[in-house]
Structure 1
Amino acid sequence: MASSLIDHLVEYRGIESNYTDAWGKAATIDPNTKQKLLGVMGYDVDDAEKLQVQADEDVKTSWLNPLNPVQVLRTGDTIQLALRLPIELVNDQYLIRIMTEQGDNLSHALTPVDEQLINVIHIDGIEFQEYLIDLPFGLPLGYHELALTIDDDEIANMRLIMAPKSCYKPKTIIDGNKIWGLSVQLYCLRSEHNWGVGDFSDLAYLLEKAAKQGAQFVGLNPIHALYPANPDACSPYGPSSRRWLNFIYIDVTALDGYQSAATQHIVDDANFQRELASARANELVDYPAVTRLKLQALSAIFEYQNSQYLNKNTKLNKAFKAFVEEGGESLQTLAVYDALQENLAAQGKPSWGWPVFPAEFSDFQKPAVARFIKKNATRVKFFLWLQWQAALQLAAANEVAAANNMCIGLYRDLAVGVSEGSAEIWGNKDLYCTNASVGAPPDVLGPLGQNWGLPPMDPEKLYQQRYQPIIDLFSANMQATGALRIDHVMALLRLWWVVKGDSAKQGGYVYYPVDDLLAILALESHKNQSLVIGEDLGTVPEEIRDKLADNGVYSYRVFFFEQAKDGGFYSPGHYPTQSMSTLTTHDMPTLTGYWHCYDLELGKELGLYPTEEILQELFVSRHENKQAILDTLHAHKSVGDEIGIDVNYVGMSTALNFGMQKHMAGGSSELLSLQLEDWLQMDKPVNIPGTFKEYPNWQRKLTRNLQGIFDDPMLNELALSLTEARKNAST
């Protein structure tokens, strides 16, 4: 009985039993893993009686709610919904009222017994019946509220979401134009004025200069909020909140109040200037130093603005209050979390994240947190203000792109999750399974599998919360942008869950409501006029690739992964048109690093390969791949005779580097993204997957200032040739 019940719950909660691995082989999930995954979802798998009670409660909860929490439809769909009632109520007359997002009221009277009966169940001796209700009207795109009433009393409600059939595309791309752009890690940017980390003013400058060279977009790393009081936690893919921004990108010198006497007194201090000069000169981003310097100056600027504007009836204060009101509880949660973490760190208490906070502060809803907010209202207001200033500067950068007629402008990157100690989880623990982490099964990039330390959302709780968390995520990350790249887009279909204490390869897949999530993505894409790119690398089932394509989501095609079975590289001219192609990514070596096998040498130093035999196989494979690359470059006349044909005698050179970029520019993908690192022929990667402290991930800066990059005639010539190649490739 217990085994049968567990099997039922495994299927009910979307836990996969079999999958195809990265090498195309059938793989089976260990039954013990499936049972443990149920455990982290809250099921008492070690007690058969309690487990049966929980399973019965699941059924009862569903049937005792007359309506589902949410229903997602596409344009043209018949509006049908399920209605569940005790048998003694099915002969009554009800009224369904719909308030559309646009403010219109619609209503429809019905008697359930006259509708189509689809299911019957008995609970505690009472018969419940489920009917399929057809609503005789259409709905516009948007989020609509439906209420079931009887005699003007509301007895149930639900959200109805009407979405378009596919995501938004700019007209210039629909018209057949193929475009290119640059991808950058914003923190990597060097400039003559920044404070040791790239900022939003650097981004505006980059957008303007790139646009003049023919680029139509600049793609960013995730710029999500991290941890002001824990600056060493610098991975953009392990944020505190994915809805809000990393304040470190604020250009302090551009703010009203920077020139105030109090701020200048701080900035002009000899020790401050010494630290600032060191942060600028450092080859790596010194996050603790940059954070300390910026917080000092920003605190002084806030005090100036707070006294001058934000405590008075000014236009600025009204705008600030409107921003805070629109941000709602999510913004308030982050600001309180940042203030509380800072306060605990200042006292020398454990503070890396809420799991080590004192018990009274372990949850946003705790009474002690409310008291903290009241006592520290000004500091909480400061962190709210930081988010406001970051949003304003990001929007200003996007306006530069629009002013320069970039058809996309900025594109942002949405991380797959938040870290364990995040504000996002602190404010909504019910949504997350904190005893598990998402990652990836063993594949080519990670033969041991990967554990990313990011607790997954529970798909059932996401559904019960009417998909609001995912709506907020898509909406927030599409603001002030023309495109959104979704990291590990397979998460919309399934995620690899790893139970705490297990190795990554001991995990299992959990499925998500992919059709609903893709519909919401399409709706937000149109609301924000944002093109969507899905990073579909790794272990990817064909079903998700087909769904993404049908929904207008751009595939992500990396040159080094586009190989035929015989080892040859596919011509970029054969890539799907609805794709963004690239040579390499932030998780891979640069072109120079790849060609000279620096990544394999680094991996050996860091102990990333289980055996010497595996490493040697990788070296052999790399040698063969490089020869195949030379073969395809020469076959397509992407490089000249100055580049040899025998890999044993061809090192990376400017001609080979630029030739590979031009080779990609002639391809069929509508979007082409190239890394600034490869323009500069850098050899060190920005990130090595599978490492933590072993390598300075997310810290390596570019080797040249932005000003120097765009003053380089050779790089300007490369940009112009890319623009020309894209025009020639357009239909």
Structure 2
Amino acid sequence: MSGADDALLRLATLHGFEPQWQDFRGRHHHVGLDTLRLLLRAQGVDAHDPEAALGAALDEAARAPLPPRLTGTAGQHLHVALPIDCPPDQPIAWRIETDSGVVQDGLAQPVCDPRPVLVLMLPDEPGEARLMLGGALQGEAALTIAPRRCFQGPLESRRCWGLGVQIYGLRKDGDGGLGHYGALADAARAAARRGADALALSPVHALFAADAGHFSPYAPSSRTRLNGWLVDPGGMPEVAKTAALAAQLGIADALADAEAAPLVEYGAALPLRLRLLRALHAQFAAAHLHPPSAMGAEFLRFRQDGGTRLEDHAHFEALHAHHLRADPYAWDWRNWPAPMRDPRSTEVATFAAAHAEEVAFHVFLQWLATRQLTAAQRAARDSGMGIGLIADLAVGTQAGGSRAWSRTAALLEGVSIGAPPDQLNLLGQNWGLTTFAPTRLAAQGYAPFLDDLATAMSFAGGVRIDHVMGLARIWCVPDGARATEGAYLRFPVGDMMRLLAAESHKRQAVVVGEDLGTLPDGFRDLLVSTGLLGLRVLFFERENDGAFAPSWRYDSRAVATSTTHDMPTLAGWWRGADIGLRAGLGLLPEGQDEAAEGAARQRERDALWQRLHEEGGAEGDAPAGPEPRLGAAVARFLGRTPSVLAMLPIEDAILSEPQVNLPGTTDAHPNWRRRLPAPVPALLEAEPAVAILGALDAARREGGG
């Protein structure tokens, strides 16, 4: 290997990219040098002359002052890296001032290991602070003193259970064929009446109001803004009711037709929803802004407090709609005229002034979304839920969305995140999303990450972090490359976990991490030590001989669940509907056919029924179809596990067969379009939900296995 190649590998490692990786079979792979060059470019690193770039990077790292933010754990040592030219024999004056008024200071001698390091003992009380260095080495940094574990709330003292729902699929009279936040309060109250402590939601991140075709909740425009699609137009009855707005606009029949559709037809439902919301905004502005009423003053304060970041999103939405009307291929802001790609340009400011009403409308949507989600959480807690809503934080962001356009989020450019090949997908996965550039994220004091967490936790009692291993490392693929032609990118996982723990206590929110797939060594141990709940899925929890694991084997510091949105429902799995579906689409594992998969599923059904017979109260022979006694036995089994939280998707509470999302498909399967057959309160007051949730609630209260 040449000196230049060796320098390139060291440069990649310095910037977080791992030049080697191990696949699910245990085989080691080397990342191509061209791939590493492209990935470094995505971090803003010019690797044309890798030896010079490496020398400059090492020199910069050695002489770097304090970073904008340091993190440590309360009552433990903080290790502060110092510039390489720091005088080794000269004590350094230091001072820590916490926001609560605690002050610690003193002199400390640097320790060379081999770079000079200052070792300080942190205060016992978690919180935000400032670290100041004096004497020969002047410096100051924000300091997050984190608690040892994430907030646990009711999970400290009892085992809870919850229900999961997809918001877009909720039904409520007059919804126009698309679920909304107004149905959440009803759903939360209904679940609470059955004994639930939590209601887990699909992501509510902002999507694209001008494009009904991009509706995956896991492919957001911004994770710091909310989805205005899902606002309930009838959520401000003091301004206008939905029926009156529909009559005024002449769209009552169209709304009824959309509401009658078995699936969410976004192309019809979204424009109707936005017409209602625009009419609501016009009436609100006329009645409450000129002059401002108490409600109008609340809106104006929200807009002022939102500052530049809120205005950026509203500007983007207006610009996105404008460019799409002129050119259907202008979906990505990187294809807009150069001045419009810069959120701080004079041209953008001029556009925003000329389209002030449209910009205000998108601010209005954010205000209403915040109000309605907050009201749903209040309804959940007032109904007796210990946790309430559990929000969902998607793993990445659309590079063509508002967060990337704002240029404030330290995002990678020119790469997509995904997953390397595994036993379920031998070609790997490319999700078409981007994520943070770790070095730039640290340079911004982790502010974009904290913004994401604050938004997700602001209206909820918990948050689920999708693909939580992305806090430690994530698979990155250069644009235009195959999913196999990527590399892992490491993140400062210690800092990320400490910030997560600190934010969870600040917001009083429990944290769940989707820890499925190929995990870094020791990662689950890190989750446990941080108080972050992993995920244990019934179908995956097996013994070496294929038997389903007994209830007592489930982790206590995890969430036990029957399935996930990317897997078959319980009813669909039992009937084998997913096998025929995947076979028809060519998605079966390599070397397998439908008959072999069907025979294997029969063995799995027998094994599950055996376990349910032993621990789930199942009696008699296994049912031919997904009968209520199957659902009740699964719920009872999950309830018996020591896991502090058991979750059941509503599809499994009503034994619905269709799968929410089928990975590897777009138009071939109606992903993210399934509607519930009735409003949640009606579903939970009827069979089979009464029996299934009753079994789950009783098992939770009995104390488990």
TM-score category, normalised to shorter length: over 0.9
CA contact (8 A) 1:179 1:670 kept: yes
1:516 and 2:495 are equivalent in the alignment: yes
CA–CA separation in structure 1 for the residues paired with 2:85 and 2:541: 57
1:237-248 matches, within 5 Å, as: 237-248=218-229
CA–CA separation in structure 2 for the residues paired with 1:91 and 1:540: 43
1:121-136 matches, within 5 Å, as: 131-133=116-118
- In 2 relative to 1, CA 638–441 (structure 1 residues): closer, same or farther, beyond 3 Å? farther
State the match for 1:126 in structure 2: none
- In 2 relative to 1, CA 617–42 (structure 1 residues): closer, same or farther, beyond 3 Å? farther
CA–CA separation in structure 1 for the residues paired with 2:642 and 2:147: 26
1:115 and 2:97 are equivalent in the alignment: no
- In 2 relative to 1, CA 156–313 (structure 1 residues): closer, same or farther, beyond 3 Å? farther
CA–CA separation in structure 1 for the residues paired with 2:277 and 2:336: 26
1:630 CA drift (Å): 2.0
State the match for 1:600 in structure 2: 579
Q: Among 609, 612, 634, which residue is 1:660 paired with?
A: 634
1:416-435 matches, within 5 Å, as: 416-428=395-407, 431-435=410-414
1:273 CA drift (Å): 1.1
Q: Among 440, 444, 468, which residue is 2:447 paired with?
A: 468
1:421-570 matches, within 5 Å, as: 421-428=400-407, 431-570=410-549
State the match for 1:124 in structure 2: none
Amino acid at match of 1:218: L
1:207 CA drift (Å): 0.6
Aligned length: 702
CA contact (8 A) 2:467 2:515 kept: yes
1:273 and 2:252 are equivalent in the alignment: yes
CA contact (8 A) 2:172 2:183 kept: yes
Q: Secondary structure at the match of 1:28?
A: strand
- Residue by residue over 1:310-365, the C-alpha shift from the partner in whole angstroms, topping out at 9 and shown as x without a partner, is 34354334422332333333222211111111222233453322122222212323
Amino acid at match of 1:244: R
1:163 CA drift (Å): 0.4
1:726 and 2:700 are equivalent in the alignment: yes
State the match for 2:31 in structure 1: 30
CA–CA separation in structure 1 for the residues paired with 2:60 and 2:222: 31
State the match for 2:185 in structure 1: 204
- In 2 relative to 1, CA 387–331 (structure 1 residues): closer, same or farther, beyond 3 Å? same
State the match for 2:70 in structure 1: 71
Q: Among 316, 326, 339, which residue is 1:337 paired with?
A: 316
Q: Secondary structure at the match of 1:506?
A: coil
CA contact (8 A) 1:439 1:450 kept: yes
1:383 and 2:352 are equivalent in the alignment: no
State the match for 1:589 in structure 2: 568
Q: Which runs of 5+ in 1 are unaligned?
A: 121-129, 645-649
Q: Among 107, 132, 152, which residue is 1:169 paired with?
A: 152
1:6 and 2:38 are equivalent in the alignment: no
Q: Secondary structure at the match of 2:234?
A: helix
1:688 and 2:701 are equivalent in the alignment: no
Amino acid at match of 1:142: G
State the match for 1:715 in structure 2: 689
State the match for 2:285 in structure 1: 306
CA contact (8 A) 1:226 1:241 kept: yes
CA–CA separation in structure 1 for the residues paired with 2:89 and 2:423: 61
- In 2 relative to 1, CA 71–578 (structure 1 residues): closer, same or farther, beyond 3 Å? same
1:646-657 matches, within 5 Å, as: 650-657=624-631
1:654 CA drift (Å): 2.4
CA–CA separation in structure 2 for the residues paired with 1:611 and 1:84: 53
CA–CA separation in structure 2 for the residues paired with 1:81 and 1:380: 45
1:15 and 2:17 are equivalent in the alignment: yes
After TM superposition, the structure 1 stretch with the greater mean CA deviation from structure 2, 484-493 or 565-574, is 565-574
State the match for 1:346 in structure 2: 325
1:328 and 2:328 are equivalent in the alignment: no
CA contact (8 A) 1:199 1:250 kept: yes
- Residue by residue over 1:288-310, the C-alpha shift from the partner in whole angstroms, topping out at 9 and shown as x without a partner, is 32221222222222222223333
Amino acid at match of 1:38: L
CA–CA separation in structure 1 for the residues paired with 2:409 and 2:569: 41
1:139 CA drift (Å): 6.9
- Residue by residue over 1:49-94, the C-alpha shift from the partner in whole angstroms, topping out at 9 and shown as x without a partner, is xx3333233234334543223211001123453343867x999998
Amino acid at match of 1:387: Q
Q: Secondary structure at the match of 1:452?
A: strand
Q: Secondary structure at the match of 1:505?
A: coil
Q: Among 91, 98, 101, which residue is 2:99 paired with?
A: 101
Q: Which runs of 5+ in 2 are unaligned?
A: none
State the match for 1:145 in structure 2: 130
State the match for 2:141 in structure 1: 158
Q: Among 626, 646, 663, which residue is 1:672 paired with?
A: 646
Q: Among 643, 656, 666, which residue is 2:622 paired with?
A: 643
After TM superposition, the structure 1 stretch with the greater mean CA deviation from structure 2, 702-711 or 204-213, is 702-711
Amino acid at match of 1:41: Q
Q: Aligned-pair RMSD on alpha carbons? A: 2.8
CA–CA separation in structure 2 for the residues paired with 1:198 and 1:368: 37
Q: Among 331, 339, 348, which residue is 1:369 paired with?
A: 348
CA–CA separation in structure 1 for the residues paired with 2:643 and 2:145: 30
After TM superposition, the structure 1 stretch with the greater mean CA deviation from structure 2, 131-140 or 10-19, is 131-140
Same amino acid, percent of matched pairs = 31
State the match for 1:395 in structure 2: 374
State the match for 1:191 in structure 2: 172
CA contact (8 A) 1:16 1:29 kept: no
- In 2 relative to 1, CA 651–574 (structure 1 residues): closer, same or farther, beyond 3 Å? same
- Residue by residue over 1:563-611, the C-alpha shift from the partner in whole angstroms, topping out at 9 and shown as x without a partner, is 1121111012310111111111100111121122221211222232475
1:147 CA drift (Å): 4.7
- In 2 relative to 1, CA 144–373 (structure 1 residues): closer, same or farther, beyond 3 Å? farther
Amino acid at match of 2:472: L
CA–CA separation in structure 1 for the residues paired with 2:516 and 2:91: 52
Q: Among 530, 534, 558, which residue is 1:579 paired with?
A: 558
CA–CA separation in structure 2 for the residues paired with 1:520 and 1:370: 35
CA contact (8 A) 2:583 2:593 kept: no
CA contact (8 A) 2:616 2:634 kept: no
CA–CA separation in structure 1 for the residues paired with 2:138 and 2:345: 31
1:182 CA drift (Å): 0.6
1:380 CA drift (Å): 1.3
TM-score of the superposition, structure 1-length normalised? 0.90
1:209 CA drift (Å): 1.1
1:446 CA drift (Å): 2.4
- Residue by residue over 1:635-694, the C-alpha shift from the partner in whole angstroms, topping out at 9 and shown as x without a partner, is 3353111536xxxxx333222233222222222211111111122222211111011222
- In 2 relative to 1, CA 505–90 (structure 1 residues): closer, same or farther, beyond 3 Å? closer
Q: Among 233, 241, 255, which residue is 2:236 paired with?
A: 255
- In 2 relative to 1, CA 529–433 (structure 1 residues): closer, same or farther, beyond 3 Å? same
CA contact (8 A) 1:108 1:135 kept: no
CA–CA separation in structure 2 for the residues paired with 1:5 and 1:711: 66
Q: Secondary structure at the match of 1:73?
A: strand
TM-score of the superposition, structure 2-length normalised? 0.93
Q: Secondary structure at the match of 1:181?
A: strand
After TM superposition, the structure 1 stretch with the greater mean CA deviation from structure 2, 66-75 or 704-713, is 704-713
Q: Secondary structure at the match of 2:171?
A: coil
Amino acid at match of 1:231: A
CA contact (8 A) 2:457 2:507 kept: yes
